[in-house]
Structure 1
Amino acid sequence: MGGFFGCASKKACNKELFYGTDYLSHLGTKRGGLASVDKTDFYRSIHNLENAYFRSKFEPDIDNLAGNMGIGIISDTDSQPIIIHSHLGKFAVVTVGKISNLDELAQEAFSQNIHFAETSQGEINPTELVAILIGQKGSFAEGILNAQTKIKGSCSMLVLTDSGIYAARDRLGRTPIVIGKRENAYAVSSESSAFSNLGFEVEHYIGPNEIILITPEGFEQVQPPGEAMQICSFLWVYYGYPVSSYEGINTEQVRYNCGAALAKRETEKADFVAGIPDSGIGHAIGFANESHLPYMRPYVKYTPTWPRSFMPQNQGMRDLVARMKLLPVKEIIQGKRILFCDDSVVRGTQLKDNTQILYEYGAKEVHMRIACPCLIYPCEFLNFSTSQSTLDLAGRKAIYEIEGTEDTDLTDYAMDGSEKHSAMLGRIIDRLMLTSIRYQKLEHLIEAIGLPKNRLCTHCWDGSGYF
């Protein structure tokens, strides 16, 4: 998915930039980058993060990032920041999102005799495309609006100039941006969790299509927010760090609400509740609090030598690393009926491995409760679940086994309680070797978040949403 951080301070901002960006490491897996500006020039550092932490890669670069304004990025895709020389002046840009009409916009640029540098493993770098769209107009504000208007999918950005940082949220607000304030400095971030230990307090949640200019003295609205919003619901379910709030709604509290909603529908008997570490823990606590079942840890996560399950390039090795990170506690598992909570099931491969281990250690029953509905539509708007084919989604694979074709109406399968939905669950239970599985109802997830459905993107569950 990716996340960015920026800081404008009356003093040097390199340390705030370093730590603020580091606090977003949970949002991306591939690359990180920092850029700063002083009165004379721009400074930049980019590193690959696939086999190391952000901190270890960028710590040697901190002192080289001169200036009192800067931006940083954790990216799941291209190398960023991009630094551009243009008629608007020199600027740096970072982006988060997914440009669905990238090829169309690139062809439009080619027709105007504009070329792209090879900066993204042979592919067109989407951040460079955004920079080109900005440069087509007579001011930064007009250029950013040009990019927001032309891009389909989603694209939020920070644009660093020698006079300030422009923060622009994507047109439908699928990804969040928040502004923080402390004495003599302002910050902007994808997540409010980056603020706490740096002394910043939340000052403003940027709205959909809104553009804000941030300087060391303050911030001003360049463009007001639009009325329509489709913020990604999965931020609260999984992506967001528990400390973070979006639209003023705390992530951890929503996860408690999700678990409680699942507990209110529960019909099975269990000895205790557990969460798949780490993303299922908040949901499991909410379930335990509502059901009054004890919360226990049959799995403990071991991270000192397994920092990232995506380190190996081979999928089989990644699955092995994911299994190695979870250590079972036999004395808690043996002879017990265990009810697990997790944020979601994407492919189901790791969940199947975890279930097998539980039975090997003597579990009597394994019930799985998922905090969101079944994922059956690939994400069209963000870089989530895009690396898998449609049939890699556990729900779609089950539907294919039932229908014998990928070309089928998914409406009834998405409807909790329908015959087709129950048949899909039966296939998933058999494949993952579970005693039972239950997904959150969509209306209960929406209620747990606390925003109207028309303000949320729920496409991956019900196929709704628009560009």
Structure 2
Amino acid sequence: HGQRLAQESHVDADLVMPFPDSGNYAAIGYARESGIPFEMGMIRNHYVGRSFIQPTQSMRDFSVRIKLNPVRELIKGKDIIIIEDSIIRGTTAKTRVKALRELGVKKVHMRISCPPHKFPCYYGIDFSSKGELIAAEKTVDELRVYLGLDSLHYLSIEGMLEASGVKNPELNFCKACYDGDYPVPFDPEFTKQCMG
């Protein structure tokens, strides 16, 4: 996905870095395709789980604060490209971008290795309402401003399918959280009751 992302959204920068660990492999692919050096500009605390699935906003905020720590020596005064696997609520991205700016990063570009999550997942992932999805509420440019980025780009649905090697996406690939086309009918009231 990272290589395709670089093809779709090249930008000049000093380094490519992931928000570990979810962006690691896409960042490596982006760096290889773009020719921009890859660096681990953040160190992840592996004892903290996925922040976006924490049950309350205060727990998500706390998780983000202790989860990722920037390496000042690698990033200060640089133009960087951050690669992330997704933006769900925006909690992690906003907090980390602010921390990077405070450390003296010149430009912060973010590239997301999937399309924007605009629709709820009724099949088990914990973002069950559209109101929880920041990409459903904001345009890409509004989200760029909200997060404090110099540029923001998501991988296209077509790019994701091609990078995944999907030959017949209508038969074997759920894209409902990206395009709202749910492959299996569902009852929203039943789903809310089952998922709490």
Q: Deviation per CA, 1:283-324, whole angstroms, max 9, x where unpaired?
A: 001111111111001111123xx3435697643133212221
What is the aligned counterpart of 2:82 among 318, 328, 340? Answer: 340
Aligned counterparts, 1:102-121, within 5 A? none
What is the aligned counterpart of 2:111 among 369, 376, 393? Answer: 369
Contact conserved, 2:121 with 2:127, CA < 8 A, in 1?
Answer: yes
Instruction: Find the residue that maps to 2:81 and give its secondary structure.
Output: strand
Shift of 1:266: 2.8
Alignment partners' CA distance in 2, 1:357 and 1:371: 22
What is the aligned counterpart of 2:145 among 413, 430, 433? Answer: 430
One-letter code aligned to 1:297 = M
What is the aligned counterpart of 2:161 among 443, 446, 455? Answer: 446
One-letter code aligned to 1:457 = C
Q: Deviation per CA, 1:157-199, whole angstroms, max 9, x where unpaired?
A: xxxxxxxxxxxxxxxxxxxxxxxxxxxxxxxxxxxxxxxxxxx
What is the aligned counterpart of 1:457 among 174, 185, 188? Answer: 174
Please give the TM-score of this superposition, normalised by the length of structure 2. 0.86
Please give the TM-score of this superposition, normalised by the length of structure 1. 0.37
The aligned counterpart of 1:381 is 123
User: Which structure has the highest strand share of the two?
Assistant: 1
The aligned counterpart of 2:39 is 296
Aligned residues: 181
**Is residue 2:61 matched to residue 1:319?**
yes
The 1:381/1:430 distance shift into structure 2, 3 A limit, reads same
Structure index of larger Rg? 1
Shift of 1:339: 0.3
Instruction: Find the residue that maps to 1:457 and give its secondary structure.
Output: coil
Contact conserved, 1:346 with 1:393, CA < 8 A, in 2?
Answer: yes
| Higher RCO (CA 8 Å, separation ≥ 6 residues) | 2
**Is residue 2:102 matched to residue 1:360?**
yes
Unaligned segments of structure 2, at least 5 residues: 185-196
What is the aligned counterpart of 1:272 among 15, 29, 42? Answer: 15
Q: Deviation per CA, 1:34-89, whole angstroms, max 9, x where unpaired?
A: xxxxxxxxxxxxxxxxxxxxxxxxxxxxxxxxxxxxxxxxxxxxxxxxxxxxxxxx
Alignment partners' CA distance in 2, 1:349 and 1:390: 16
Alignment partners' CA distance in 1, 2:159 and 2:50: 31
Instruction: Find the residue that maps to 1:297 and give its secondary structure.
Output: coil
The aligned counterpart of 1:395 is 135
Unaligned segments of structure 1, at least 5 residues: 1-257, 399-423
Q: Sequence identity of aligned pairs in percent?
A: 35
Alignment partners' CA distance in 1, 2:40 and 2:130: 33
